[in-house]
């Protein structure tokens, strides 16, 4: 049904007339008649005030109940949300960690995912650009057509109005309705509607009978205010604007094109509205095709990337697996070689390298076993004749007083060298047991301070011979460690005797400290010292800092190597620090309980006092008093000596 809204003259029009039958009323803001004073009416207070209070109380009570109910519901919802988050959050974290681990460890996953992300990003950019260009072209095409059709139809309407010979109201209404109905209809493509509205603030002629007219479901509100303003302020120009058209229960995009027409001296606004739903459907179909094609294209790109990377990465993964097995000792593992391409050549080269390594490792293992067996056999075979020679040397040594000076000196040299030879033979036997893997740790809980005191007492004669003193800095309480006391005794004896022999008669400090997981023992001398390169090789077998130096000091050259092997049996650390002219420091760190990991050593490897005693860069430290054992010239004494709080 087509309906028209007839608008009458404004009651407050510019001619100052008031509608008949409407009495004049004074408002609080109106001016009173001259000589009259307005008398305010007395304010009436209702008598049922008491009846309002119970009603207000009931309302407040119900309001509090609803507040409590809302609070309970909110708490329950929050509890449910929190429970859901707590249940799903671990799963999300697990998935995130799994993806992160997969990203780090899989080259194929990383390559495929990167390819997919780049493909999706590229398609989104290209698709957005194409969609925007297609939408602009469709809109421009429809706009051009709408402007052309509007210009033609407005011209026909104006010619019809100009040639009309009607004077009565019914004829005018019939003519306007028929003319606008002829404009409404379908163009070549676009559905067309209209809005016909008289321009506001027109007072003449007063005998117009048509105020507004619009197609079904349309009002002048669908016209944008900017378009109406432009049309009202223009002359014969034509304007357009985008708008939304209500059609049934949906809103459709449209174009409103506005012009001015005149009829019987009255100026009207004529808007032709074109439905763009067909163009929108075309654009939606194109976008659907683009998205569907893009999704298929992304899947195809992902499949191609997966296939290509699988062909390239699979041999690499196989090579990594085979190399791990080779590193684990499975020297017979080889790669499967197929084809003659670069990957096949890589596999063949890898297999050739593995075969060469297997052959060399086998040869080295065989040679090592032969050497170990030779050393072990020779050491065992030498024990019997060495025992006989030692007994003869002892007899000659005891009877040296009856010899002439030359034979006496020969007897002393023979006795000392036999002792040295026996020590070397014992060390070789111990090394052979380590190499054969038959060394066993016999660990029992014992106080390590007693072992250290026993070693220091045994080293006292050597310290007295070199003119050195041995200073022990240790806590007063016992330190119980799971250890093989015989092996720890041997380690400490090697460290302390080496410090005394190379200390040039200066004090040797033995520092003991413990923490939650480990005990640390540092043996510090202040002798000739060694540089970092020498400290890195000091635990090698038969290594000496000065090979040309006469062997007046040092033992067989295997003591520190044996100490290293004993430390490994305890899962401990044996480290060395040295500086030329400042001495050396050897640190032994052992776990308090077997099977525990050492977090950190309780004592420092590089002593804080390395630059003290007049050296540049020394920093005075606050002293602390501990009970320490001082050995000098073979005598022992226990006395309080100031030491550092951090590390003596």
Please give the structure tokens belonging to residue 29. 């803001």
Please give the structure tokens belonging to residue 569. 């049996």
Domain count, the chain: 3
pLDDT at residue 241, as a whole number: 92
User: Residues 6 or more apart from 179 whose CB is under 8 A from it?
Assistant: 157, 160, 161
Range name among 391-400, 481-490, 629-638 with the lowest pLDDT average: 629-638
189: nearest Cα among 79, 262, 277? 277
* Residue 71: pLDDT over 60: yes
* Residue 423: pLDDT over 80: no
* Residue 21: pLDDT over 50: no
Residue 499 in domain: yes
589: nearest Cα among 599, 604, 601, 577? 601
Answer yes or no: do 491 and 582 share one domain.
yes
pLDDT at residue 476, as a whole number: 83
Answer yes or no: do 564 and 478 share one domain.
yes
Range of the domain at 416: 356-439
Q: What is the CATH number of the domain that holds 247?
A: 3.30.450
* Residue 10: pLDDT over 60: no
* Residue 58: pLDDT over 90: no
Residue 327 in domain: no
pLDDT at residue 587, as a whole number: 92
pLDDT at residue 589, as a whole number: 92
pLDDT at residue 598, as a whole number: 86
121: confidence class by pLDDT, cuts 50, 70, 90: very high
| Cα–Cα distance measured from residue 289 to residue 286, given in angstroms and rounded to the nearest whole number | 5
| Cα–Cα distance measured from residue 214 to residue 482, given in angstroms and rounded to the nearest whole number | 102
Residue 316 in domain: no
pLDDT at residue 207, as a whole number: 55
pLDDT at residue 5, as a whole number: 31
Domain boundary among 282, 315, 337: 282
Answer yes or no: do 454 and 393 share one domain.
no
CB atoms within 10 A of CB 589: 22
Answer yes or no: do 384 and 490 share one domain.
no
Answer yes or no: do 587 and 444 share one domain.
yes
pLDDT at residue 609, as a whole number: 59
Query: What H or E segment, with its residue span, contains residue 636?
Result: strand 635-644
Answer yes or no: do 431 and 473 share one domain.
no
Average pLDDT over residues 193-199: 88
C-beta of residue 470 within 8 angstroms of C-beta of residue 460? yes
Please report, rounded to a whole number, the percentage of residues in the chain having pLDDT higher than 90.
11
Domain boundary among 591, 607, 629: 591
Answer yes or no: do 446 and 585 share one domain.
yes
623: confidence class by pLDDT, cuts 50, 70, 90: very low
pLDDT at residue 544, as a whole number: 66
pLDDT at residue 521, as a whole number: 92
Helix intervals (H) in 399-503: 405-436, 448-466, 485-502
Answer yes or no: do 496 and 584 share one domain.
yes
639: confidence class by pLDDT, cuts 50, 70, 90: very low
Q: What is the CATH number of the domain that holds 416?
A: 1.10.287.130
| Cα–Cα distance measured from residue 572 to residue 589, given in angstroms and rounded to the nearest whole number | 5
224: confidence class by pLDDT, cuts 50, 70, 90: very high
Residue 109 in domain: no
56 vs 352, which has greater pLDDT? 352
390 vs 194, which has greater pLDDT? 194
Average pLDDT over residues 420-438: 72
Annotate 353-384 with three-state secondary structure.
Answer: HHHHHHHHHHHHHHHHHHHHHHHHHHHHHHHH
* Residue 144: pLDDT over 80: yes
* Residue 632: pLDDT over 50: no
185 vs 169, which has greater pLDDT? 169
Q: What is the CATH number of the domain that holds 491?
A: 3.30.565.10
| Cα–Cα distance measured from residue 281 to residue 109, given in angstroms and rounded to the nearest whole number | 40
DSSP β-ladder status, 508-514 and 469-473: parallel
pLDDT at residue 616, as a whole number: 34
Annotate 53-122 with three-state secondary structure.
Answer: HHHHHHHHHHHHHHHHHHHHHHHHHHHHHHHHHHHHHHHHHHHHHHHHHHHHHCHHHHHHHHHHHHHHHH
378: confidence class by pLDDT, cuts 50, 70, 90: confident
Answer yes or no: do 448 and 578 share one domain.
yes
pLDDT at residue 607, as a whole number: 80
Residue 626 in domain: no
Burial of 232 (0-12, 13-18, 19+ CB in 10 A): middle
Residue 514 in domain: yes
Q: In what order do the strands lie in the sheet with 623-632?
A: 573-579, 583-591, 518-525, 508-514, 469-473, 623-632, 635-644
642: confidence class by pLDDT, cuts 50, 70, 90: very low
Answer yes or no: do 426 and 444 share one domain.
no
45: confidence class by pLDDT, cuts 50, 70, 90: very low
Answer yes or no: do 177 and 232 share one domain.
yes
Average pLDDT over residues 152-174: 86
The residue assigned the tokens 């060395």 is: 576
pLDDT at residue 52, as a whole number: 54
| Cα–Cα distance measured from residue 415 to residue 389, given in angstroms and rounded to the nearest whole number | 9
Residue 91 in domain: no
pLDDT at residue 125, as a whole number: 92
Domain boundary among 591, 609, 626: 591
Answer yes or no: do 446 and 577 share one domain.
yes
Query: Long-range CB contacts (< 8 A, 24+ apart) of 369-378?
Result: 372/432, 372/435, 372/436, 375/428, 375/431, 375/432, 375/435, 376/429, 376/432, 376/436, 378/428
Average pLDDT over residues 176-205: 76
pLDDT at residue 205, as a whole number: 59
Tally of residues, the chain: 648
Top-confidence range, 128-137, 166-175, 618-627: 128-137
* 527-538 pLDDT per residue, tens: 888 878 777 778
Residue 269 in domain: yes
Average pLDDT over residues 288-315: 88
Instruction: Please state the pTM of the whole predicted model.
Output: 0.46
* Residue 331: pLDDT over 50: yes
pLDDT at residue 199, as a whole number: 85
Give the CA distances from residue 119 to residues 114, 130, 287, 288, 311, in Å, rounded to whole numbers and listed in that order. 8, 16, 18, 18, 21
Range name among 209-218, 429-438, 512-521, 565-574 with the lowest pLDDT average: 429-438
648 vs 217, which has greater pLDDT? 217
Range name among 13-27, 182-196, 599-613 with the lowest pLDDT average: 13-27
C-beta of residue 492 within 8 angstroms of C-beta of residue 450? no
Arithmetic mean of pLDDT over the chain: 77
* Residue 38: pLDDT over 50: no
* Residue 246: pLDDT over 60: yes
pLDDT at residue 208, as a whole number: 67
CB atoms within 10 A of CB 458: 14
473: nearest Cα among 354, 247, 625, 279? 625
User: Residues 6 or more apart from 562 whose CB is under 8 A from it?
Assistant: 427, 430, 431, 434, 490, 494
């Amino acid at each position: 049904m087509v309906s028209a809204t007839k608008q009458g003259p404004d009651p407050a029009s510019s001619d100052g007339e008031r509608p008949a039958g409407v009495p004049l009323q004074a408002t609080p803001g109106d001016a009173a008649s001259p000589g009259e004073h307005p008398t305010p009416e007395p304010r009436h207070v209702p008598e049922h005030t008491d009846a309002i209070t119970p009603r207000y109380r009931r309302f407040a009570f119900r309001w509090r109940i609803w507040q409590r109910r809302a609070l309970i519901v909110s708490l329950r919802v929050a509890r449910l949300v929190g429970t859901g988050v707590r249940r799903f959050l671990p799963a999300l974290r697990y998935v995130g960690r799994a993806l992160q681990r997969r990203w780090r460890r899989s080259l194929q996953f990383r390559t495929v995912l990167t390819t997919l992300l780049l493909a999706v990003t590229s398609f989104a950019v290209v698709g957005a650009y194409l969609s925007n260009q297609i939408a602009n072209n469709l809109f421009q095409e429809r706009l051009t057509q709408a402007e052309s059709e509007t210009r033609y139809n407005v011209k026909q309407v104006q010619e019809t109005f100009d040639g009309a010979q009607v004077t009565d109201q019914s004829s005018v209404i019939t003519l306007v309705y028929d003319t606008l109905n002829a404009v409404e209809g379908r163009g070549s493509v676009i559905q067309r509607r209209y809005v016909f509205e008289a321009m506001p603030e027109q007072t003449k002629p007063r005998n117009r009978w048509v105020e507004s007219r619009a197609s079904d479901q349309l009002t002048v509100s669908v016209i944008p205010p900017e378009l109406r303003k432009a049309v009202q302020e223009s002359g014969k120009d034509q304007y357009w604007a985008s708008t939304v058209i209500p059609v049934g229960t949906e809103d459709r995009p449209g174009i409103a094109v506005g012009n001015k027409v005149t009829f019987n001296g009255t100026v009207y606004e004529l808007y032709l509205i074109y439905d763009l739903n067909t163009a929108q459907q075309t654009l939606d179909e194109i976008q659907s095709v683009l998205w569907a094609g893009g999704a298929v294209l992304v899947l195809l790109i992902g499949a191609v990337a997966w296939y290509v990377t699988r062909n390239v990465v699979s041999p690499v993964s196989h090579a990594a697996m085979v190399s791990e097995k080779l590193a684990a000792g499975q020297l017979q593992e080889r790669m499967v070689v197929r084809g003659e391409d670069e990957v096949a050549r890589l596999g063949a080269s890898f297999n050739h390298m593995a075969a060469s390594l297997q052959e060399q490792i086998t040869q080295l293992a065989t040679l090592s076993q032969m050497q170990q067996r030779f050393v072990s056999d020779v050491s065992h075979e030498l024990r019997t004749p060495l025992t006989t020679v030692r007994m003869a040397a002892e007899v000659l040594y005891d009877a040296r007083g009856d010899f002439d000076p030359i034979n006496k000196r020969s007897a002393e040299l023979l006795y000392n060298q036999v002792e040295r030879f026996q020590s070397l033979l014992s060390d070789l036997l111990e090394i052979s047991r380590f190499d054969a893997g038959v060394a066993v740790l016999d660990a029992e809980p014992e106080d390590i301070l007693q072992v250290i005191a026993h070693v220091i007492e045994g080293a006292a004669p050597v310290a007295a011979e070199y003119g050195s003193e041995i200073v022990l800095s240790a806590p007063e309480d016992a330190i119980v460690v799971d250890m093989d006391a015989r092996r720890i005794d041997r380690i400490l004896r090697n460290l302390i005797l080496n410090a005394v022999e190379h200390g040039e008669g200066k004090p040797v400090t033995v520092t003991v400290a413990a923490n939650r997981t480990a005990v640390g023992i540092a043996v510090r001398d202040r002798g000739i010292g060694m540089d970092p390169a020498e400290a890195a090789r000091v635990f090698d077998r038969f290594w000496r800092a000065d090979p040309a130096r006469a062997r007046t000091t040092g033992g067989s050259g295997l003591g520190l190597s044996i100490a290293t092997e004993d430390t490994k049996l305890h899962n401990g650390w044996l480290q060395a620090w040295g500086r030329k002219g400042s001495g050396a420091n050897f640190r032994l760190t052992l776990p308090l309980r077997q099977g525990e990991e050492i977090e950190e050593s309780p004592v420092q490897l590089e002593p804080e006092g390395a630059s003290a005693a007049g050296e540049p860069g020394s920093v005075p430290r606050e002293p602390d008093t501990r009970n320490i054992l001082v050995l000098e010239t073979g005598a022992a004494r226990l006395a309080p000596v100031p030491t550092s709080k951090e590390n003596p």
